[in-house]
Structure 1
C-alpha cells in the first residue's frame, strides 16, 4: 500500500455548491479507482501568497488516501490539470513519518496550542488581577572598591629642534650647439 496526499485549490469565484461538487468529483474518482480515503480536510477559503489567475484567495482541500499502486496518481493529476476550476494542486507520496505526523495531527497531538491559564488572570478575558507582594527588606548600601593608585608621573623627554642645512643649488650645464 502506498500513502499519498493531494492538496488542491479551487477557484473561489464559484458558488458554494459548485466548489463542493468540484471536490466531490475527485473524491469519487479516488473511490472508483479502489483507493481508501483516510481523511478529507476542507481547509476553506484562505489568502494566497501570490496572485494566481488574478485571484488573491482560494478554497483549499487536502485528501489523504492509500492506493495499491501509483497508477491513479497520473490519472488524478491529469484530471486536476485539465479542470479549469482548479487553480493549483500538489500530490505528495507520504513516507512512514508523514503518515504518523498526519495521524497525530488528526488526533489533536500536533498543531493545536493549548492555552495555559496563568495564576492571577481572569478566565473571562478581563484585565489580570495583580497579587499583592510582600514588602522587601531594605538593601545594604554597596561597598565601593578602593580607588586605584594614581599612575606615576614621568617627565617628558626634551626634544632638540632640528635645523636644516642650506644646500647649494645644482649646476645646470647648457648644451653647445
Structure 2
C-alpha cells in the first residue's frame, strides 16, 4: 500500500452543503477502490495565488490516504469530471513525508485539546 495526499480546490460559489457533498463523493471513490482514508482537513475558503476561471477564491480540502496505484487514476478522473473542482493535486508520499504528516496531525490534535 502506498501513501498519498490529495488537495482539491472547489469553486467558491458553492454552499457548505455542496462542498461536503463533493468531499463525500471523493471519499467514496477512495474507499470503494480499496483505499483507506487516514486524515482529512478542511482548509475552508481561501484566496487563490492567481485567478482560475475568473475566480479569486476557492474551498480547499486535503485528504491523506493509502491505496494501490490504480486508485489515483480513478480519483483524478472524477476530479476532472466534476465541474465543482477547479484545481487538484495528488502525490505519492515517501517515508519522510509520511513521518512529517504524522507529526503535523499530532501537533494539530494537541492544539485542539
Q: Which TM-score bucket, shorter chain as reference? A: over 0.9
What is the count of residue pairs matched by the alignment?
A: 109
Tell me which protein shows more strand as a share of its residues: 2
Measured against aligned partners, the alpha-carbon deviations of 1:32-59 in whole angstroms (never above 9, x if no partner) come to 1111100011111110000011111000
Paired with 2:54 and 2:38, the residues of 1 have a C-alpha distance of 33
Instruction: For residue 82 of structure 1, report the CA deviation from its aligned partner.
Output: 1.4
Structure 2 equivalent of residue 78 of structure 1: 77
Alignment of 1:103-122 (within 5 A): 103-108=102-107
Paired with 1:104 and 1:72, the residues of 2 have a C-alpha distance of 26
TM-score (norm 1): 0.60
Larger Rg: 1
- Given that 2:29 and 2:74 are in contact with CA atoms closer than 8 Å, whether structure 1 keeps it comes out as no
Higher relative contact order (CA 8 A, sep 6+): 2
Instruction: For residue 12 of structure 1, report the CA deviation from its aligned partner.
Output: 1.0
Structure 2 equivalent of residue 53 of structure 1: 53
Instruction: For residue 97 of structure 1, report the CA deviation from its aligned partner.
Output: 0.3
Moved over 3 A (4+): none
Structure 1 equivalent of residue 65 of structure 2: 65
Task: Provide structure 1 residue ranges, at least 5 long, that are not aligned to the other structure.
Answer: 113-177
Instruction: For residue 28 of structure 1, report the CA deviation from its aligned partner.
Output: 1.1
Task: Provide structure 2 residue ranges, at least 5 long, that are not aligned to the other structure.
Answer: none
TM-score (norm 2): 0.92
- Say which SS state the counterpart of residue 13 (structure 1) adopts: coil
